[in-house]
Amino acid sequence: MEYDYLIVGSGLFGATYACQATRQGKKCLVIDKRPHLGGNVYCENVEGINVHKYGAHIFHTNNKEVWDFVNSIVPFNRYTNSPVANYHGKLYNLPFNMNTFYQMWGVTTPEQAVAKIEEQKAEAVTKMKAEGVSEPRNLEEQGLCLVGKDIFEKLIKEYTEKQWGRKCRDLPAFIIKRLPVRLVFDNNYFNDAYQGIPIGGYNKLIEGLLEGVECKTNTDFFKSEYHDWCKYAKQLVYTGPIDEYFDFCYGKLDWRTVSFKTRVEDTPNYQGNAVVNYTSHEQPYTRVIEHKHFEMFGQAVYDCPKTVVSEEYSTEYKEEMDQYYPVNDNKNNLLAEKYRALAENEDGVLFGGRLAEYKYYDMAPIIEKVMGLVIE
Ligand code: FDA
């Protein structure tokens, strides 16, 4: 037998596993059906800019061990995610903080901001009570009770409707449990201690993780000789979709997806920020990503004469599309449980990552998970 591990999928789960196993003297083969390595963190170089082909990826974590590990593979830059919202041409800082409240109402102190929010929350509750309603019945009522009319209507309502393809009044209240507001002038989206982008892009991270590991792209597990994996390896690490592994025996799991329209703009600086959310129905897309701002700062933005922007659209999932987010409704959760039960009885196979676990993971938790596995 040639390999200790056959690893299906070269995304962060597969690549980190291969790295750890190789460091322990194991021989691995990584296969991926795509024409490139890296899974969803893969970037395409366009006009000297790393374009996040499968959606914007910002690494963030509170786990120092994970941060030190990824930085030992490739140093990370100081990118700080501070998205801006555009509502009918007016700009607001996100997440909701003192800058947002100043832009919204002209208030300058936390006390004034709290008073304004509380006044609007009370208005929403009074209106509901007048209608004989004690608990929010849908996402719209929930949002209004949590943050009041202005923030909800300008920054949440239509954006959420674009994301879900349904009216907030027709969406369940539980989708939004909390809407944190910050009473400080702080536009840093994440609360984590560490965040950034690998210097030189995510492909450098993947190349570093897979250094010295044999890899084959354009190789689909189900359509290649490796389907008969026992002939090649002692163990299988499978990071593809769990339902496909079991030949969809219980039926197909649903996904939500996003699609992107990417173009080159003949200007060095198109929107002045990596992420701009469009929070009204005026634009059909939810966000515009300007990729260079993830990695270029100050003069470097202007030293690169062009820019690449991607409009992001929430899209109904159809077969053959990229699977992005699991659908956490009852039907799909039950189906996923049935597949997980089958996976537990599959000898010599480790199911890991977002597709095989049918679970949304950020990048850092994926790495943390692999770091915690015992590789024998
Ligand atoms: P991933 O999908 O990356 O890898 C699986 C690999 O398996 C793929 O390369 C696929 O081709 C391969 N494969 C599947 N079936 C196969 C088969 N039959 N044969 C061979 N190969 C097969 N996280 C974060 O921390 N910050 C962020 O900003 C974002 N942003 C973000 C945006 C969007 C739109 C999404 C959907 C997700 C994020 N994420 C994120 C999450 C991040 O993408 C996620 O944590 C990692 O991609 C998970 O890595 P995996 O290895 O599990 O899957």
> Per-residue pLDDT for the chain (376 aa), expressed as one digit of tens each?
799 999 999 999 999 999 999 999 999 999 999 999 999 999 999 999 999 999 999 999 999 999 999 999 999 999 999 999 999 999 999 999 999 999 999 999 999 999 999 999 999 999 999 999 889 999 999 999 999 999 999 999 999 999 988 999 999 998 888 899 999 999 999 999 999 999 999 999 999 999 999 999 999 999 999 999 999 999 999 999 999 999 999 999 999 899 999 999 999 999 999 999 999 999 999 999 999 999 999 999 999 999 999 999 998 888 888 889 998 888 999 999 999 999 999 999 999 999 999 999 999 999 999 999 988 8
Helix residue ranges per DSSP H, 249-325: 299-303
312: annotated active-site residue? yes
C-alpha distance from residue 14 to each of 70, 227, 298 (Å)? 15, 17, 35
Residue located nearest, by CA, to atom 43 of ligand 1: 40
Which strands, in side-by-side order, build the sheet including 287-290? 90-93, 84-87, 275-278, 287-290, 307-315, 255-265, 325-326
Question: Does the active-site annotation cover 317?
Answer: no
Integer Cα distance of 149 and 117 in angstroms: 9
Question: In the annotation, is 169 catalytic?
Answer: no
Catalytic option among 207, 220, 254, 362: 362
Active site residue 256: yes
User: Which residues neighbour 264 within 8 Å (Cβ) at sequence distance 6 or greater?
Assistant: 46, 47, 306, 307, 308
Tell me what ipTM this predicted complex has. 0.99
Report CA(23)–ligand 1 centroid distance (Å). 23
> Does residue 34 carry a catalytic annotation?
no
Contacts of 238 (CB under 8 A, 6+ apart): 8, 9, 221, 245, 349, 350, 351, 352, 356
pLDDT of residue 376: 81
**Distance, CA 39 to ligand 1 centroid (Å)?**
5
Cβ-based neighbour number of residue 332 at 10 Å: 17
Atom of ligand 1 nearest to the CA of 54: 34
CA 213/CA 227 separation, integer angstroms:
20
Is residue 164 within 8 Å of residue 172, measured between CB atoms? no
Q: Name the closest-CA residue to atom 12, ligand 1.
A: 9
Ligand 1 center from residue 16 Cα (angstroms): 13
- Residue 46 near residue 16 (C-beta atoms within 8 A): no
What's the half-sphere exposure (Cβ side, CA atoms, 13 Å) at 321? Answer: 16
The rounded Å distance from CA 41 to ligand 1 centre is 7
Pocket lining for ligand 1, CB < 6 angstroms: 8-14, 31-34, 39-41, 55-59, 220-222, 239-240, 258, 324-325, 353-355, 361-364, 366
* Helix then strand then coil, % of the chain, to nearest 5: 35, 20, 45
All domains of the chain, ordered by start, with CATH?
3-81+194-252+327-371 (3.40.50.720), 95-175 (no CATH), 255-315 (no CATH)
d(CA 215, CA 67): 25
Residues 6 or more apart in contact with residue 192 via CB below 8 angstroms: 60, 61, 62
Q: Nearest residue CA, atom 53 of ligand 1? A: 11
Tell me which amino acid residue 140 is: E
Q: Is 287 labeled as catalytic in the residue annotation?
A: yes
Catalytic, 178? Answer: yes
